[in-house]
Amino acid sequence: MTDAPDPKPARADRWRQARTRAFDRSRRTGLRAGTWLAQRWQQTVALLRGMEPSRAYAPPPAAPGRLTQRRDAEIVVPAHGYIYVFVIRVSFSWSAEGLRPELLSWYAQHLQPLAVAQLTRLAADLARSTAPQHAGELEVELQRAIGEADWSFARAEGTVTGRPDAWVRLDERVQQALLPYSERRVTLDSEYELHLARARSAQQLAQRWSTILREYADTAAEADPQTQEGLVDAARRMLGLQKIAAQWIEDLLAERPRTGNWFDQPPPDARRSPDLPRQPGPESAANDATADGDPSTQA
C-alpha cells in the first residue's frame, strides 16, 4: 500500500511565491512613484528658474523721507523745599530717516521710557533750586537744558531722535495760594496804567497853558488889568498843578512794588511815609480848576 504525499511542503511553496509576487509589485510601484516625483520636481525647479525676479518675495521698501510721530507724557518733580511739586507736560517728537511707520512707532514705544527718565533727571536738578511759585523760570531753564542735551538713539536701522517739548504747571495748592495775590496784582497794574494816563493828560494840559502864556508874554504889559490878572492866575494854577502831579507821581512810585515777589511786600500803609499826606491827583486838580471857572478845562 503506497503512502499519500505530505501537503505541508506544497503549502509553504505557495506562501513563498505569494510573498515574492507582492514584493515585486511593491518595488515596481515604488519605482514608478519615484520616477513621477522626480519628473515633477524637475518641472518645479525649471518653473522657479524661469520666474521673473519681480514675482519673487521681497520685503516692502523703506518709507522715503523723514517720518515724525508725537507721543505725550507727564512727569512730576519736587520744588525747592520738597513740599510742593511742579507738573511738567511733555510732548516727544520721534523722527527717523528712512524707517517704515510701524518700525518708527515700535522704536518710539520702547525708547520713550529712556527719554522720559533723561528729562526727569534734568527737570529734577533744576526744580530742586526753584521756588514753587516760579514755574515760568523753571520752564525757561528746562527748555534751555533740553536744547543742550542729546536726544538721539542709535539703532541698527538708523538713528532715532525723540526731542521733547515741555510746559511747566504750578502745583494746585500753590495756585490756590497765589490766586488772591494775582488778582490784587492785576488790579494794581490796571490802576497804575490809569494813573499814568491821568498824568499824561495833566502834562498835556500844562503844555497848553505854557503855549498860551508864551503867546501873551510879549503883550502882557499892554493888556488890560483883567487880562493880566487872568494870565497871572493861570500861571499860578499851572505851577501848582505841576507840583501836585510831581508829588502824586512820587507817592505812586513809592507804593509800587520794587520786586516781583508779592509774598515779601508789606501792606501799603507800611510803605507810605507817616508825615507825607496824600495829595490829590491831576484829575482832582483839574476838577478844582473847572469849579473855579478855568476856561481851558471848561473847553
Query: Which DSSP string corresponds to 18-74?
Result: HHHHHHHHHHHHHHHHHHHHHHHHHHHHHHHHTS-GGGS--PPPPPPSEEEEEEEEE
CA 226/CA 232 separation, integer angstroms: 10
Could you tell me the residue ranges of all domains in the chain?
Answer: 66-170, 175-298
Closest by CA position to 95, among listed 103, 87, 86, 104: 104
**pLDDT for residue 61:** 57
**pLDDT for residue 283:** 46
Strands (E), the chain: 66-78, 85-97, 152-155, 158-169
- What does pLDDT average to in each consecutive run of 10 residues of the chain (299 residues)? 55 75 79 83 77 50 74 95 95 91 91 95 95 94 95 89 95 92 86 80 75 67 68 75 74 61 46 42 45 44
CA 41/CA 48 separation, integer angstroms: 11
Q: Return the CATH architecture of domain 66-170.
A: 2-Layer Sandwich (3.30)
Strands (E), 158-219: 158-169
What residue type is assigned to position 127 of the chain? A
Give the torsion sign (CA, 172, 174, 179, 180): positive
**pLDDT for residue 272:** 43
Cell digits of residue 199: 498824568
Closest by CA position to 117, among listed 90, 86, 148: 90
Are 61 and 88 in contact by the 8 Å Cβ rule? The answer is no
CA 180/CA 188 separation, integer angstroms: 12
